[in-house]
Amino acid sequence: MTQDPHTTSSIDQCKIITLERHHHANGNLTVVENDNPIPFKIRRTYYLYDIPGGESRGGHSHSNLHQLLVAISGSFDVLLDDGVQQQRYTLNRPYQGLLIAPGIWRVLENFSSGSVCLCLASEHYNEDDYVREYDEFLKRTSNKRAQ
């Protein structure tokens, strides 16, 4: 039986990574490829946009899914929580992404007008992979707080 990553994941496994970029007089180009520089094969890509002012997205964790979030336009904040500590990241550069490990609660908020969040995911959509209730997340991470 595989161990639930909620019991072992840490915010320390999440980080900002800089994507390959090419500067040109007529515009810039950023490159993302499987396994380079993200440490997983991309199986799903989607993006969030037209988020009304004051609204948030996310508010869940995943049991198996790795994600890379990129602000390809505008900016937004990502609050990460591993059950013990929290960390806030502001994403506002289209050549940087936030790598999120499984077992980490995430909330996206403070979207600027016209912002677009690109998500590259390691797995296809699977509702069973989600933990959508924060109380359930806290139950799954309780061993970390007991140490």
Catalytic residues: 60
Give CA–CA dist 83/143, Å, rounded.
Answer: 9
Whole-Å CA distances, 118 to 46, 81, 86, 121, 136: 6, 20, 22, 10, 27
On the 0-12 / 13-18 / 19+ scale of CB atoms within 10 A, 106 is: buried
CA nearest to 65, candidates 25, 36, 38, 94: 38
